[in-house]
Chains A and B, each alone.
Chain A
Amino acid sequence: MTQGITLGTIQRPPGPPLTPGPIFFGTSSELTIVTELYHLTAQELATKLQAREISAEEVCHSFLQQIDRSESSVNAFITVTREAALVQAREIDRRRLNDERLPGLAGVPIAVKDNIVTKDTRTTCASRMLEEWKPVYDATVVGCLQAHDIVTLGKANLDEFAMGSTCENSAFNPTYNPWNLSRVPGGSSGGSAAAVAAGEAPWALGSDTGGSIRQPAAFCGLVGMKPTYGRVSRYGLVAFASSLDQIGPLSWTVTDNALLLNVIAGADPRDSTSTSSQTPDFTADIQTGIRGLRIGIIQELMGEGIDSEVRGAVEGAVKQLEALGAKTVPVNLPRTAVAVPTYYVIAAAEASSNLARFDGVRYGSAAPQPKDLIDLYTRTRALFGNEVKRRIMLGTYTLAAGYYDAYYKKAQNVRQLIGSDFARAWESCDILLSPTVPTTAFRVGEMMTDPLAMYLADIATVPVNLAGLPAVSLPCGQDSDGMPIGLQLIGQRLDEMTLYRAAYAYEQATEHHRRRPAEYFSPGD
């Protein structure tokens, strides 16, 4: 059984949790006292930074040290931007000492998934194709982080071009799950999740096309939000499947998660698919409670095919939510069974087109000494890994004349039906509930020879992307091996607020969010 420890409870003074003020560390005998800065949540770090109890440089050092200690076993990062991070942190400290008005999160560090482009810092997508690619521009979300003086520690590992559920399809070695190194951290945002779970960053940005934030969050015991399609700009996110991709936060707590979504959400004139709707303060009514909230339990995801320990934990969560005043109702999403094939047709079709630009002509890697154009194309594109090649071929096939109607067009029709399944569900409930993944973290290597089994494990997450809805995964227990179990809450379009409110109520009533992998969070390290 994996060793888990419970971190020191922070007993806050009464009042909203976002008010800057002194932090009190737990002194009760059953609590462990926090002794390292990297043990703190982003919100706690922000509060102490604002109070000038700690400096941004100290914070940065603490996480960089933890990166030094953990990377050899976890391999969460592809690139660590140590010097740039320290320079940025010192600059923030200097400005604070000059009494400049700083954003509330100034000096809090972050890990960024390596398919989000960062100017002058290589952005590899975990592919040989972009091994040395240094973008000439910043993604919109990276600009948001900078505007809030959040310090980027480095670029997190992923499945190549975000294609995979294990973080093993990386050209730069797999990432391992900090809860148990023989398990995968999930994917594709496995590096982002493992970095947080190993204490290498207080939070991280991931991207979710079919579950790539929520599934690793579930496998690593974190809160992971896939926002509504269009809520966060995709400008600068290297596209996998453009109609499904969405950037979102991974964190230990619901409040941290909402704080980070506040930073990155909003309309972007450079992304036509970003929503023009108002961006609320996602923490605003987080504490209002869930009395009377109608929660639909997705029947298709509570029975066969769901691991019994997972089901047990989710059923426990349902009881907890009921105890908090929510009303639960059984709900059917009849097209759940066809969501995975639908998803893999659409995602692969878009991917085959999105990844065609990697031809060796303008940027990234190129085959040396090509004989002619075709030789340049074929040898350059041989740099893609197997999973990427598989999806490009699948997508090319489904878009081909003669197959388009049978596959792509039919999949788009089914996508509409999946959307109407959800629409019907909203008639009787406010949010929906399911396990995030049918199982806990896969064993390393387990899925590498059976892509179909890996795809089927996406059953609970892909319908959400197909419908463009927001969904959050949060920890709701652990299996007999001590591996975290994820609970998924699905919201209505643009209603991340209600998800955070429900998740926060549940989190505050339980202790799951305080569990840390002992190996990386030993007291007095």
Chain B
Amino acid sequence: MSSKFEAVIGLEVHAELLTETKIFCPCKAEFGASPNKNVCPVCAGMPGALPVLNEKVVEYAILAGSALNCVIPQTSKFDRKNYFYPDLPKAYQISQYDEPICGPGWIEIRTGDQTRKIGITRIHMEEDAGKLVHQGAAGLAGSTHSWVDLNRAGIPLLEIVSEPDLRTPEEAKAYMQELRSILVYLGINDGRLEQGSLRCDANVSIRPLGASTLGTKTEIKNMNSFSAIERAVRYEIQRQIDAVECGEAIVQETRLWNEEKQISVSMRIKEGSADYRYFPDPDLRPLEIAPDRVATIAARLPELPTAKRERYQNTFGLSSYDAAVLVSEKTTADFFDAAVAAAGSVSYAKAIANWLIGDIAAWLNSEKRSLEQTKLRPQHLADLVQLISQETISGKIAKSLLPDLLDAGEDLKTLIEKRGLSQISDDSAINAAITQILEAHPAQVAEFLAGKTKVVGFLVGQVMRATQGRAKPESVNRLLLAALESAKG
């Protein structure tokens, strides 16, 4: 980025809530049902049907607001956002306009060594629209006709709007990652950017460094991963700088990120702001949120990522990097916590973390699987680090067992016994092997006796081979040297 400019970025995040049913009707809010399976007169916008608020949505919104340090006012209301589109059955979306459920708040993000507070403007509740499937083309353009699937119509959404506090593509990505973690920790969103259950639009503008006014912003849509967010924002900043440096004006528009081509293209020019003719929805009563209800919900907040990271560093002595890696996926952190608990001592935490971040992560990566898709259980990992620490097995053997643990889910002790893999630390057993090897290699023994000590390495290797690697290497060294010395007579 040219150092003459600074970018101003704000994100609007839409999170589908993990409620059993839709926001205004009893239809199931599930992903992947056959088209128009979860549809009733209410979410199909049939004449005469009326919305009834799913209280779980309010609860989840308050939960999110509490986690994002938001002000939660005592009154709130729903409004109608009016516009025509075939995926919008009532031709208005029930949303919240000027009295959202949650007011200003903030979250902390980290990029490199820096920590910054990013403001949250508001959180509001709304219903999702349906989905259009265009026949014969990827989009509306070129299709012969379009199908409407209303399964998604009425799925509850939280819209979380940030202040324009973000300055770099890295920060935009970090903000989204942190927000995703928090929502997943709260158990209110599944965090799947690739499926669109968590989506984000970025508002981007640039201004000369040091300026306090805002430039004309563009809105970037269609980013389905963290890296896409980072790249799309970077692309847009550069595009705007190039334009300004060529003396062109920035046009207020919505742009669509094309992941394949790694560029964004203009979708529509916004002529001022669209007129949605918002007005209070007369079908729903205004909400009254009692402060003690907020307190009750806030008291149920689970340990959030920031607190967890701090605990991992302070209690377990993990590095900030390791702590961040473990915490970023709730399933990994939960697994880690459970494994440490199963191991019964904090002293194992570091080793457990190393396994999770190192070999296990590498294996999962190569197999393209997630931890919960394996048969590894926290108890297994706890056993593994305990057995290594007790020197029952070597670290090398443990690594060799990992695929079986992940895939077969067998009890570790059974596995070790079945394969006879426990470490031999019994001197007599090692000595028996040494005697056998010395007898088999008289030439090498003679070389040693002639003063060629290099040959010891070869002999150690032979002993290890004879014990299938189970002999403790230090013991082999010590005992072999002793045997050779005694051969000197």
Contact string against B for A residues 130-142, beta-carbon threshold 8 Å, 1 for contact and 0 otherwise: 1001011101000
Contact B277 A399 (CB under 8 A): yes
Chain A residues 126 to 161 lying within 8 A of chain B, measured CB to CB, are: 130, 133, 135-137, 139
Asked whether any CB of chain A lies closer than 8 Å to the CB of B344, the reply is no
Chain B residues 261 to 304 lying within 8 A of chain A, measured CB to CB, are: 273, 275, 277-279, 282-285
Contact A272 B284 (CB under 8 A): yes
Report Cα–Cα, A359/B284, bound state, in Å. 23
Contact A359 B84 (CB under 8 A): yes
- Shortest B273–chain A CB gap in Å is 8
Contact B86 A137 (CB under 8 A): no
Could you say which residues of chain B place their CB within 8 Å of the CB of A133? 47
Could you say which residues of chain B place their CB within 8 Å of the CB of A504? none
Contact string against A for B residues 31-74, beta-carbon threshold 8 Å, 1 for contact and 0 otherwise: 00000000001001111111111000000000000000000000
Q: Which of A6-14, A35-43, A229-237, A456-464 contacts B (4 or more CB under 8 A)?
A: A229-237
Could you say which residues of chain B place their CB within 8 Å of the CB of A136? 41, 46
Q: A234-B50, A237-B48, A239-B48 are in contact. Are A361 and B277 (CB under 8 A)?
A: no
Q: A117-B48, A242-B283 are in contact. Are A401 and B91 (CB under 8 A)?
A: no
Contact B46 A135 (CB under 8 A): yes
Contact A272 B53 (CB under 8 A): yes
- Shortest A181–chain B CB gap in Å is 32
Could you say which residues of chain B place their CB within 8 Å of the CB of A361? 86, 148
Asked whether any CB of chain A lies closer than 8 Å to the CB of B191, the reply is no
Report Cα–Cα, A269/B53, bound state, in Å. 10
Report Cα–Cα, A364/B279, bound state, in Å. 26
Asked whether any CB of chain B lies closer than 8 Å to the CB of A74, the reply is no
Contact A135 B50 (CB under 8 A): no
Contact B44 A137 (CB under 8 A): no
For residue A271, which residue of chain B has the nearest CB? B50
Could you say which residues of chain A place their CB within 8 Å of the CB of B119? none
Report Cα–Cα, A349/B45, bound state, in Å. 18
Contact B283 A272 (CB under 8 A): yes
Asked whether any CB of chain A lies closer than 8 Å to the CB of B89, the reply is yes
Could you say which residues of chain A place their CB within 8 Å of the CB of B51? 272
Could you say which residues of chain B place their CB within 8 Å of the CB of A362? 44-45, 89, 148
Could you say which residues of chain A place their CB within 8 Å of the CB of B89? 357, 362
Contact A353 B279 (CB under 8 A): yes
Contact B275 A401 (CB under 8 A): yes
Asked whether any CB of chain B lies closer than 8 Å to the CB of A243, the reply is yes
B48 CB contact (under 8 Å) in A135, A399, A408 = A135
- Shortest B452–chain A CB gap in Å is 89
Report Cα–Cα, A352/B275, bound state, in Å. 14
For residue B92, which residue of chain A has the nearest CB? A353
- Shortest A486–chain B CB gap in Å is 28
- Shortest A388–chain B CB gap in Å is 13
A349 CB contact (under 8 Å) in B46, B49, B279 = B279
Report Cα–Cα, A408/B277, bound state, in Å. 11
How many pairs, one residue from A and one from B, have CB atoms within 8 Å of each other in the complex? 101
For residue A373, which residue of chain B has the nearest CB? B86
Could you say which residues of chain A place their CB within 8 Å of the CB of B284? 272-273
Could you say which residues of chain B place their CB within 8 Å of the CB of A377? 84
Contact B91 A242 (CB under 8 A): no
For residue A395, which residue of chain B has the nearest CB? B277
Contact B90 A243 (CB under 8 A): no
A137 CB contact (under 8 Å) in B46, B80, B273 = B46
Chain A residues 227 to 251 lying within 8 A of chain B, measured CB to CB, are: 234-239, 241-243
Sorting the interface of chain B by its residue count into under 10, 10 to 19, 20 to 34 or 35 or more gives 20 to 34
Asked whether any CB of chain B lies closer than 8 Å to the CB of A404, the reply is yes
B47 CB contact (under 8 Å) in A238, A243, A272, A352 = A238
Majority-rule SS of A interface residues:
loop
Asked whether any CB of chain A lies closer than 8 Å to the CB of B82, the reply is yes
For residue A361, which residue of chain B has the nearest CB? B86
Contact B91 A359 (CB under 8 A): yes
Chain A residues 274 to 290 lying within 8 A of chain B, measured CB to CB, are: none
Q: Which of A139, A350, A353, A358 is the most central at the interface, judged by chain B CB atoms within 10 Å of its CB?
A: A353
Contact B50 A272 (CB under 8 A): yes
Could you say which residues of chain A place their CB within 8 Å of the CB of B82? 352-353, 356, 399
Contact B285 A272 (CB under 8 A): yes
Contact B148 A273 (CB under 8 A): no
Contact string against A for B residues 191-216, beta-carbon threshold 8 Å, 1 for contact and 0 otherwise: 00000000000000000000000000
Asked whether any CB of chain B lies closer than 8 Å to the CB of A125, the reply is yes
Could you say which residues of chain B place their CB within 8 Å of the CB of A401? 273, 275, 277
Asked whether any CB of chain B lies closer than 8 Å to the CB of A87, the reply is no
Could you say which residues of chain B place their CB within 8 Å of the CB of A357? 45, 47, 89-91
Q: Which of A269, A361, A364 is the most central at the interface, judged by chain B CB atoms within 10 Å of its CB?
A: A361
Could you say which residues of chain A place their CB within 8 Å of the CB of B148? 361-362
For residue A116, which residue of chain B has the nearest CB? B48
Contact A396 B285 (CB under 8 A): no
Could you say which residues of chain A place their CB within 8 Å of the CB of B86? 359, 361, 373
Asked whether any CB of chain B lies closer than 8 Å to the CB of A400, the reply is yes
For residue B45, which residue of chain A has the nearest CB? A357
Report Cα–Cα, A349/B282, bound state, in Å. 11
Contact B47 A269 (CB under 8 A): no
- Shortest A436–chain B CB gap in Å is 25
Chain B residues 69 to 125 lying within 8 A of chain A, measured CB to CB, are: 80, 82, 84, 86, 89-92
For residue B47, which residue of chain A has the nearest CB? A238
Report Cα–Cα, A270/B283, bound state, in Å. 11
Contact A242 B47 (CB under 8 A): no
For residue B150, which residue of chain A has the nearest CB? A362
Chain A residues 20 to 74 lying within 8 A of chain B, measured CB to CB, are: none
Contact A125 B47 (CB under 8 A): yes
Contact B282 A363 (CB under 8 A): no
Contact A273 B282 (CB under 8 A): yes
B275 CB contact (under 8 Å) in A137, A242, A400 = A400
Could you say which residues of chain A place their CB within 8 Å of the CB of B46? 117, 135-137, 363
Could you say which residues of chain A place their CB within 8 Å of the CB of B52? 269-272
- Shortest B373–chain A CB gap in Å is 40
Q: 24 A-B contacts, Cβ less than 8 Å apart?
A: A116-B48, A117-B46, A123-B47, A135-B46, A137-B49, A234-B50, A242-B282, A272-B50, A272-B53, A273-B284, A349-B279, A350-B279, A352-B277, A353-B279, A357-B90, A357-B91, A359-B91, A361-B86, A363-B47, A399-B82, A399-B277, A400-B277, A401-B273, A404-B277
Partner-B contacts on A (CB < 8 A): 116-117, 123, 125, 130, 133, 135-137, 139, 234-239, 241-243, 269-273, 349-350, 352-353, 356-359, 361-364, 373, 377, 396, 399-401, 404, 408
16 more contacts with CB within 8 A, not counting A116-B48, A401-B277, are A117-B46, A133-B47, A137-B41, A238-B47, A270-B50, A270-B52, A349-B279, A353-B92, A353-B279, A356-B82, A359-B91, A361-B86, A361-B148, A362-B89, A373-B86, A400-B275
| Closest 9 pairs (CB-CB, A-B) | A356-B91, A243-B282, A399-B277, A242-B282, A238-B47, A236-B48, A117-B48, A401-B275, A238-B48
